[in-house]
Structure 1
Amino acid sequence: MPPLADSGRRTLARIVDMILVGIVVWLLTWAFGVHEYNVNGDHVEVGKSVGQSVIAVVLYIAYDTFMMSKYGQTLGKKWLNMRVADLDDGATPSVQTNLIRALVLWVPFAFCCACIWTAICGGWSYFDKPYKQGLHDKAAKTVVVSTG
């Protein structure tokens, strides 16, 4: 198996992917008039916020699952010379494995605690031994390896 990817590069790749998909989420929610709720003293529109979260989680999960299953990497990982591999044999993970990985990463992100969950889930790789796995990698039994 190739060497494990550096956690700093992994973080940068995730930021790139979040920006790319975030732009699409913003465009779709803007086009459909779904946006974060506005709070005033008399009225709170929570339904629109939930709608935006649903759009975000579906797009992030679809992006990660499709890209990882087809190419073993997202655009951010490709640009930074990394890919996701099964822990046991180094192969490109199956659709099911990638779906588990994406669900663990993105469902809490979209519906609960975006910044905190992303920092915990992905940040886990900074101190995990010996495989530098994020919590989503642990759930899916995957690792991120260097490709170049």
Structure 2
Amino acid sequence: MSDMNEPPMPDDNRRTGWAELGLGGTVQLANPGLRLGARVLDVIIGGILGVIVFFVVAAASFDNGTSGFSTGTTVVTLILGLLVGIAYEVWPTALWGQTLGKRIVGIKVVHAMTGEAPGWGKAMGRWAVPALPSVIPFVQFIGWIFTLLCYVSLTWDRVHQGWHDKAAGTLVIRLR
């Protein structure tokens, strides 16, 4: 935040906790701690949903008389897991700018130009930049490092944008 808890002047390049939208107006940015809290909650909730998908597919696999996961069952599990991730992250971000974790901690993703919910393309891009590299076969370790750096990169950016925010043209703002 600025020294007087007010938005900075437009030519101010310091890290103040505020950002100007492309079409005018100023927003208060969510700090990295709030964003980390929301991410942890979202990982926990997403993990629970992933485990449910795993057990549903496993139960269906065993009902078919197989004794375990076949290659087809594994592929189905991965695809369903990916769809659950998209449904949990992209859909609410596109429409409202918030996942459940973001809603709980009081932050929101907005289009950097308008300050509105980002929409489908930006939400999908914002999700894909950190998520997809970590599922590429044979280079997952490098993908996980990229994903970590993607999230950590917001700590050294003036307006707290991670690489995924920069790629999508979004900001994460504080609501309370």
State the TM-score, normalizing by the size of structure 2. 0.69
Mapping 1:124-143, distance limit 5 Å: 124-128=153-157, 130-143=158-171
Match of 1:41 in 2: none
- The structure with higher relative contact order (CA 8 Å, sep 6+) is 1
> Do the aligned partners of residues 121 and 52 (structure 1) sit closer, same or farther apart at CA in structure 2, a change above 3 Å counting?
farther
**138, 142, 152: which is aligned to 1:123?**
152
Residue 5 of structure 1 contacts residue 82 of structure 1 at CA under 8 Å; is this kept in 2? yes
String of CA shifts for 1:51-92, please: whole Å, max 9, x gaps: 544333222122211111222111111111100011122121
> Do the aligned partners of residues 23 and 88 (structure 1) sit closer, same or farther apart at CA in structure 2, a change above 3 Å counting?
same
Cα displacement (A) at 1:110: 3.4
Structure number with greater Rg is 2
Match of 1:144 in 2: 172
Cα displacement (A) at 1:33: 1.7
**116, 135, 138: which is aligned to 1:110?**
135
Cα displacement (A) at 1:115: 4.3
- For 2:162 and 2:76, how far apart are their aligned partners in 1? 28
Match of 1:76 in 2: 101
Residue 56 of structure 1 contacts residue 110 of structure 1 at CA under 8 Å; is this kept in 2? no
Match of 2:11 in 1: none
- For 2:150 and 2:75, how far apart are their aligned partners in 1? 22
Cα displacement (A) at 1:47: 6.3
Match of 1:22 in 2: 47
> Do the aligned partners of residues 48 and 120 (structure 1) sit closer, same or farther apart at CA in structure 2, a change above 3 Å counting?
farther
Q: List runs of 5+ in structure 2 lacking aligned partners.
A: 1-25, 60-69
Q: List runs of 5+ in structure 1 lacking aligned partners.
A: 35-44
Moved over 6 A (4+): none
> Do the aligned partners of residues 146 and 2 (structure 1) sit closer, same or farther apart at CA in structure 2, a change above 3 Å counting?
same
What is the root-mean-square deviation of aligned Cα atoms in Å? 2.3
User: Percent identity between the aligned chains?
Assistant: 29
> Do the aligned partners of residues 67 and 123 (structure 1) sit closer, same or farther apart at CA in structure 2, a change above 3 Å counting?
same
Match of 1:60 in 2: 85
- SS of the counterpart of 2:28? coil
State the TM-score, normalizing by the size of structure 1. 0.81
